Structure 1
């Protein structure tokens, strides 16, 4: 998962296909203030979630002023990069480093990038990427079909009411539907546009674009789409327990050092919690009825 996190200074089961990388992107809402904007990569499973990569975003107004950059400890080799380019680089590095995950997901600020989605397709990386209603896809009828135009007139039985996970106020329940696109792709893969419609305000619809194995169910795609919100807990715990946003750094290397240490501490706590859950489960599970003298492998 990839997302952007903004701080005012000083203020998948470990190797299963259910692990998700998410791009995280956050900024201070509703106000203008001095802040540092980072792009983070998170790793999320049903047993825990943590941040595994980070980059400080530098606007062009900074990278165009090399003297200002030098004063902040920014090397002359550091050029301007969009936040999407940073996200793509971090996801690419996760693939190269063989981090075990099954899916990539991101919010619309990143998922709207056709270039990134195409790169993930080419690498056969399964993904569910949020996008805007103005995005377009290839269908049987058009090479530039607006995603919002795929769902009007869809039979009512095509919409399924499902939860996409636990939220602060209970289950996040929406009506969901999907329409297949890019029908001339590989036989064992599918592209879908997924619509998520508010139950109380049905005029509010958001969209995702998915690339996945042909037998992937709508419920599984909903689970992956909902995993993006689990990362909010990751940020909250990293701030509260590891001081992720408790710093006064003004230099490029200082920001990365602080984030790295906070992320390492959070990853350690996450692993310890998962281990404790495993221990508790082992203590409460009934004894095996197997007559074998050897434990059965989970591999």
Structure 2
């Protein structure tokens, strides 16, 4: 249920940068004719120039203000390795990523964008308290997902009238991955759920059923089938910085990231001197500044 949000690029940036400072010297010679460095550069610019230059500008601007450590990149890489296990190399190939080092470059750029976006996100004390509640328990739940609020209210009423939750999930839920299992989601992982769903689910007592919960996927009726309080949980004050980061993480989406990147570029007063590429940032920066 979680959405991807980071703005990533797969580019020929290194080649474009290398050739940008070259002259008309031939880099290929043959009986059929030569290929000059200028021709090579122009071809790369025509094919990859706009997206490549955007990436270079974004990286330059963001890395001037935010720092990403090797440890942070390694931790992000480990998440992918853990997620794909023995299929990690196959996944790299499917994504068109040539090596682990290339993935690390992409992850570094993604983390820079994430830091820029988080810097702009505000967090309330109520949100921190909600997050603390999420951190202090484990919740196993099931849900019924429907398209509109009226249907969700009808589902809630049918449950209140004594109808079986699992049977209604099989009958009505549009979540095909869980409907045949009676809506069972197992033990919830907040990092994989939308914020609205997580907050609602973790406020429930064991066996309690929620009111309709709206997310981008529709309207959910959630039941907490098991709630367990965690042991040895740190106090709210000791966890505060961690809570702030987790709330900000939950609020990240592509629009938030793009707006933060656009604002950083605008504040850096970037000027592009190449006449063919001079306007590539104009639309995104103007759009981002009006959001």
Q: Which has the higher helix share?
A: 2
TM-score, normalisation: structure 1: 0.21
Q: Which has the higher strand share?
A: 1
Q: Which has the higher contact order (CA 8 A, sep 6+)?
A: 2
TM-score, normalisation: structure 2: 0.22
